[in-house]
Structure 1
Amino acid sequence: MDNSKEERLPLLGELDGSDLKKRVWNESKKLWKIAFPGMIARVTSFGMIVVTQLFLGHISELDLAAYGLQQSILLRFVNGILIGMSSATETLCGQAYGAGHHHMMGVYLQRSWIIDGVTATILLPLFIFTTPLLRLIGQEEDIAIEAGKISLWFIPILYYFVFSLTIQMYLQAQQKNKIVGWFSACSFVVHVFLSWLFVIKLGLGLAGAMSAFIISSFLLLIGEFVYIFGGWCPNTWKGFTKAAFADMFPLVKLSLSSGIMICLELWYSSILVLLAGYMKNATIAISAFSICLNINAWEFMICLGFLGSSCVRISNELGSGNAKAAKFSIKVALGTSIIIGVIFWILCLVFSREISYLFTSSEEVAESVSSLHVLLAFSMLLNSVAVGAGVQSTVAFVNLGSYYAIGVPVGVLLGYVAHLQVTGLWIGLLSGVVVQTLLLSYLTWKIDWNEQVNKASERLARFFIE
């Protein structure tokens, strides 16, 4: 391993004020160059889910509640698995790019398509048998039937996730995510237009809203395929290869480790939405809770886009054997992300009621959303602290303890025993996030970055193919 770069980098304590400002500024420019397109891509991609909910909310309360239940539980469940497993692609591609193993990035991408495609197919019955499953766990009959209709429309979206998530991470790792940002933004604009045309002008209702979602999603995917196969990634895409099927087990193991970490986080809120379905006036409770979750998740996409760029920077530096630069990068990224969280915290406190009416025409639902605005604001603030670089298995245990040993029980006690209803569930959600944030901040502070460099070097050597 080449330590020459590391020797040239002074410790933070050895820097004077001007040197520190210069290093922070230079690192910030590198991060934002990757982060801004990543933010655009994540915000607009998730925005299509939110826009679909927005249009359905103006059709009927039942459609809004059914979509909220379906999207917040089933789609989040599946999306959590696929995002988590795809994050292994982000780690490996970032480290391969930093080490100069450019041709391996295309191999990693193809392996991730195989693993994620098989995983999606295994999960397919959940979308086909949604109504019986919701009946089995005691959800209201009319919501279960309507959610079953919506779930069939989500099947194409399931396979869209398989390719789109991995392609985005593959392009971002080689700092080509600007094109993903452009494609995602254009797709979002098309989605808003088609939703307006199909739902408002043509009155196609649920079918119109979901058709707009599917069409705009696959337009994005087609654009990404054309970019990769058309020769715009000459160093990293060498065509399809049988090597993609070789040595799959270590990648599956890494994917599962990353997948569990993300899944435990995303499923946490899904469980709370499910619990909201057992409350009095379940339609209102599910609608309000899912709207707040989507607002929260939309802001989280901004933080995720920024911290995704941090993962690329850290992976690049680890791949090139530069531990101090990786450590410095995560400090700059976390500091900037917290500033972003404070901005959204203020916006949510000021404009909570106006935001709620974007999603619904129901006064009762809007009032329920507005009553949660303080808790929602603090959730956004905590979203900005998302850590876990290089400690996937440890983070999985932290999430398990924070969310399921603390958050869910507190939410159940306050929501049902103390009769705080949806507010009690959200306080439970927030308590779990607070514990997770404190524990992960400590773990990140204690990371041995030299050890992470060694692990990255060993992993790249194990997967390398001439």
Structure 2
Amino acid sequence: MEHERGPLLEHHSATTALFKAEDDDIEPIRGVGDFWREFKVESKKLWYLAGPAIFTSICQYSLGAVTQTFAGHVGDLELAAVSIENSVIAGFSFGVMLGMGSALETLCGQAYGAGQLDMLGIYIQRSWVILNSTALILSFLYIFAAPILCIIGQDHDIAAAAGKLSLWMIPQLFAYAMNFPIAKFLQAQSKMMVMAGISAVALVLHSFFSWLFMLKLRWGLAGAAVALNASWWVIVVAQLVYIFGGSCGRAWSGFSFEAFRNLWGFIKLSIASAVMLSVRVSNELGAAHPRTAKFSVVVVVISSFALGVFISVILLIFRRQYPSAFTSSTDVKKLVYELTPLLATSIIINNVQPVLSGVAIGAGWQAIVAYVNIACYYIFGVPLGLILGYRLDFGVKGIWYGMLSGTVLQTLILYWMIHRTNWNKEVSLFWGSYS
């Protein structure tokens, strides 16, 4: 099977090129004891790489979740409006921006690995130009959110409230355009702890000001917009102060007109990089470790699946209690109780699918995975959900079934791709020759 690929890191060191799979790759797994020994070693490596990134993602995701929690205590309409804006309008834009920003994960990784630190600053500026231009286009989604929501069958009052909130949330869209390139720029230099610290402080401040504006001062949705916009821009400004202050050395040498060169090539890579990259797999392929690359897939899938099961079990155990954190409405609590088993199933599946996407992209299949994800989710899953939810009157369960079906289809296709992969051949292709 042919895959479109580009190596994530370019290697110029003759010493590195002398690595052989049999030299320092892991030994073949011959029994349960070998498996668990290597599993523990690989798990430590994965969590070392992923830990700060996971913490940062949790903090940034929690900004919207905290807003939604306080909205539930303002009123049912406010909760519905924030939920729709967060998941549909901002959620779509978040995915587009994150995906396009992931192009820097390839380019900054190559430049940093090759010692071309000056190029990191050019790449981040180039990405800012493209993502802010994309934000201008996506802003029409925010401006016309209310009629769009009405067209797909949303309740008129909820659509109107969500549309008003969407207009107020346009500043957050441009914060996305600035933040995701910054994140990849800092990540390429292993400065994840800086991002984690800034995100943690922003979350604490956001929680306080959300309570102050939404509940204490009773600003409602306006308070939600002020707090959420401000929190995202606090993250952006704090990271820019860190970068401009000289903490990144040669990686940032100031603004340059070079950022406006070769924009079309950068756009194509941005579109292809629609999902995050698997650093662990690409590192092991680059180091000529086919068995380690294959085993890292096993470890990360098992770890992610186990974590998903653990979270799902906790939700099922406390499904009568946890809705109270989000709302005081008896009807909403009852609906959440009924939907929790579906939520638990979604968590397990969604813990595996992104991992498989990352593994495939870590092997260099950016474009193929982008097409698979777009086709399965936006062409199959979302339309099916809208049909089940609005046309066949299955309601929220129908929408959920449709989108979950798209994710299941993604997972099956990605599993088939990875299962058929010849990892020795992938190493040879990475280095440009067959071993």
Shorter-normalised TM range: 0.7 to 0.9
Deviates more, 1:319-328 or 1:380-389: 319-328
Deviations 1:301-348 (A, max 9, x none): xxxxxxx6x723334455666655544433332232222112112112
- 1:343 counterpart residue number: 310
Match of 1:184 in 2: 199
**Taking structure 2 as the reference length, what is the TM-score of the superposition?**
0.84
Query: Secondary structure of 2:25's match?
Result: coil
Equivalenced residues, count: 410
Q: Which residue of structure 2 lines up, in the alignment, with residue 462 of structure 1?
A: none
Q: 2: distance between equivalents of 1:456 and 1:110? A: 28
More helix by share: 1
Q: Is the 8 Å Cα contact of residues 12 and 20 (structure 1) preserved in structure 2?
A: no
Q: Determine if the alignment matches structure 1 residue 378 to structure 2 residue 393.
A: no
* Structure 2 residue 268 is the aligned partner of structure 1 residue 253: yes
1:5 equivalent in alignment to 2:19: yes
Match of 1:329 among 296, 304, 322: 296
CA distance in 1, matches of 2:54, 2:386: 34
What does residue 176 of structure 2 align with?
Answer: 161
Residues 402, 132 of structure 1: alpha-carbon distance in 2 compared, 3 angstrom cutoff: closer
Instruction: Classify the secondary structure of the residue corresponding to 2:186.
Output: helix
Displacement of 1:416 in angstroms is 6.0
Task: Give, in whole Å, the separation in 2 of the partners of 1:413 and 1:211.
Answer: 35
The alignment partner of 2:249 has SS state of coil
Q: Tell me the residue number matched to 2:395.
A: 421
Work out the CA distance in 2 between the residues paired with 1:25 and 1:97. Answer: 29
Question: 1:415 Cα deviation (Å)?
Answer: 4.5
Aligned equivalent of 1:121: 136
Deviates more, 1:89-98 or 1:114-123: 89-98
Deviations along 1:379-423, one digit per CA (max 9) or x if unpaired, are 111111122223233223433554466545664665467754323
The aligned runs of 1:189-268 (5 Å cut-off) are 189-259=204-274, 262=275
Amino acid at match of 2:73: H
Distance 1:239 1:200, change over 3 A: same
Indicate how the Cα distance of structure 1 residues 138 and 342 shifts in structure 2: closer, same or farther if over 3 A, else same.
closer
Structure 2 CA distance for aligned equivalents of residues 450 and 97 of structure 1: 26
Please report how far the alpha carbon of residue 39 of structure 1 lies from its aligned counterpart in structure 2 after TM superposition.
Answer: 1.1
Q: CA RMSD in A?
A: 2.9
3-state SS of 1:384 partner: helix
Q: Percent identity?
A: 41
**Compared CA separation, residues 366 and 52, structure 1 to 2 (3 A):** same
Which residue does 2:366 correspond to in 1? 392
Cα deviation, residue 42, structure 1 = 0.8
Matching of residues 75-90 of structure 1 within 5 Å: 75-90=90-105
The residue that corresponds to 1:439 in the other structure is 413
Per-residue deviation, 1:184: 0.5
Is 1:68 the equivalent of 2:83?
Answer: yes
CA contact (8 A) 1:95 1:456 kept: no
Write the letter of the residue equivalent to 1:435: L
Q: Which residue of 1 aligns with 2:334?
A: 367
In structure 1, stretches of 5+ residues that fail to align are 263-307, 459-466
Partner SS for 1:226:
helix
Q: Deviations over 1:121-163 (max 9, x none)?
A: 1222222233344445554332232222201221110111111
> Secondary structure at 1:175's aligned position in 2?
coil
**Residues 62-112 of structure 1: per-residue CA shift (max 9 Å, x gap):** 222222222222111211211110111123223433444433333222221
Secondary structure, counterpart of 1:433 in structure 2: helix
Does the 8 Å contact 2:26/2:292 carry over to 1? no
Residue 155 of structure 2 aligns with which residue? Answer: 140
Task: Between 48-57 and 354-363, report the one with greater CA deviation.
Answer: 354-363
- The offset of 1:247, in angstroms, is 2.2
What are the equivalent positions in structure 2 for 1:22-41 lying under 5 Å apart?
23-41=38-56
Tell me by how many angstroms 1:52 deviates: 0.8
The alpha-carbon deviation at position 426 of structure 1 amounts to: 2.4
For structure 2, which runs of at least 5 residues remain unmatched after alignment? 1-10
Q: Flag the structure with more relative contact order, 1 or 2, with Cα contacts below 8 A and sequence separation at least 6.
A: 1
Contact 1:102 1:235 (C-alpha < 8 Å) held by counterparts: yes
